[in-house]
Chain A
Amino acid sequence: MNYNFKSMLHESDLKTHSVSGGLSHIEFENASIGYPGAIVLENINLKIPPGSQVAVVGPNGAGKSTLFKALVGLIPLLSGDIRVHGLSVASHHDCIAYIPQREEVDWKFPVTVRDVVAMGRFGKQGLFRRESKADKEIINEALHRLNIEELAAKPIGNLSGGQQQRAFLARAIAQQPHILILDEPFNGVDVNTHQVILNLLISMKLHDVTILVSTHDLNLAAEKFEKVILLNKKMIYFGDPEQAFTQDNLQIAFGKQILLLNNKQSILVDECCPTEDKVNQV
Chain B
Amino acid sequence: MMEWLLEPFKYEFMIRGFLAATFVGAICSIIGCYIVLRSMAFLGDALAHAILPGIAVAYLLKGDITLAALFTGVLSALGINFLSKQGSIKEDTAIGILFSASLALGIAIISSIRTYAVDLSHILFGNVLGVSNKDLLLTAILGSLILLLVLLFYRPFMIVSFDPVLATTLRIPVDKIRSLMLVMMAITIVIAIQSVGVTLVVAMLVTPSATSYLITKRLPAMMAVSAIVGFLSSVIGLYASYYWNIASGAAIVLAATCFFLVAFLFSPQKGILLQRFTSPAKKK
Q: Which residues of A contact B (CB under 8 A)?
A: 72-74, 92-94, 96-98, 100, 104-106, 109-112, 115-116, 119, 122-123, 127-128, 155, 171
Q: Does B163 contact A (CB under 8 A)?
A: yes
Residues of B within 8 A of A (CB): 37, 152-153, 155-156, 158-159, 161-163, 165-166, 168-172, 213, 216-219, 221-222
Given contacts A72-B168, A97-B169, A122 and B216 within 8 Å (CB-CB): no
Please report the C-alpha to C-alpha distance between residue A97 and residue B171 in the assembled complex, in whole angstroms.
Answer: 12
Q: Across the interface, which residues of B come within 8 angstroms of A97, CB to CB?
A: 169
Instruction: Tell which of A93, A105, A112, A171 touches B218, judged by Cβ atoms closer than 8 Å.
Output: A112
- Residues on A with beta carbons closer than 8 Å to the beta carbon of B216: 110
**A123 to B221 Cα, complex, angstroms:** 24
Taking a contact as CB atoms under 8 Å apart, the answer to whether A105 and B163 are in contact is yes
**Contact present for A111 and B219 (CB under 8 Å):** yes
Q: Is the CB of B166 within 8 A of A119?
A: yes
CB-based nearest A residue for B172 = A122
The residue on A at minimum CB distance from B156 is A127
Give Cα A96–Cα B161 distance, bound, in whole angstroms. 20
CB-based contact A94/B165 at 8 Å: no
Say whether A96 contacts B169, CB under 8 Å. Answer: yes
Q: Determine if A122 and B37 form an interchain contact, defined as CB atoms under 8 angstroms apart.
A: no
A105-B163 Cα distance, complex, nearest whole Å: 6
8 closest A-B pairs by CB: A123-B170, A72-B169, A109-B162, A94-B170, A155-B217, A98-B169, A110-B222, A100-B165
Label chain B's interface by main secondary structure: helix
| Cβ-defined contact, B219 with A110, below 8 A | yes
20 pairs from A and B in contact (CB 8 Å cutoff): A72-B165, A74-B165, A92-B171, A93-B170, A93-B171, A98-B166, A110-B213, A110-B217, A110-B218, A111-B162, A112-B217, A116-B162, A119-B162, A119-B163, A122-B155, A122-B159, A122-B170, A123-B170, A127-B153, A127-B156
Minimal beta-carbon separation of B38 from chain A (angstroms):
9
CB-based nearest A residue for B166 = A119
Query: How distant is the Cα of A116 from the Cα of B168 in the complex, in angstroms?
Result: 15
- Whether B161 and A123, one on each chain, are in contact in the complex, defined by CB atoms closer than 8 angstroms, is no
Chain A residues, Cβ within 8 Å of B166: 98, 119, 171
Given the complex, which residues of B lie within 8 Å of A104, measured CB to CB? 165
Residues of B within 8 A of A94 (CB): 169-171
Whether B161 lies near A109 (C-beta < 8 A) is yes
Q: A111 near B218 (CB under 8 angstroms)?
A: yes
- List, in ascending order, chain B residues with CB within 8 A of A116's CB: 162
Chain B: which residue is nearest A119 at the CB level? B159
How many Å from the CB of A54 to the closest CB on chain B? 18
B28 CB, min distance to chain A CBs, angstroms: 18
Assess the A109–B37 pair: CB atoms within 8 A.
Answer: yes
Tell me the bound Cα distance from A111 to B155 in angstroms: 12
- Rounded to whole angstroms, the CA-CA distance of A251 and B165 in the bound complex is 34
Q: Chain A contacts of B37 at CB under 8 A?
A: 106, 109-110
Q: Across the interface, do B171 and A123 meet the contact criterion of CB distance under 8 Å?
A: yes
Q: Are B152 and A128 in touch, CB under 8 angstroms?
A: yes
A68 and B210 CA atoms in complex are apart in Å by 36
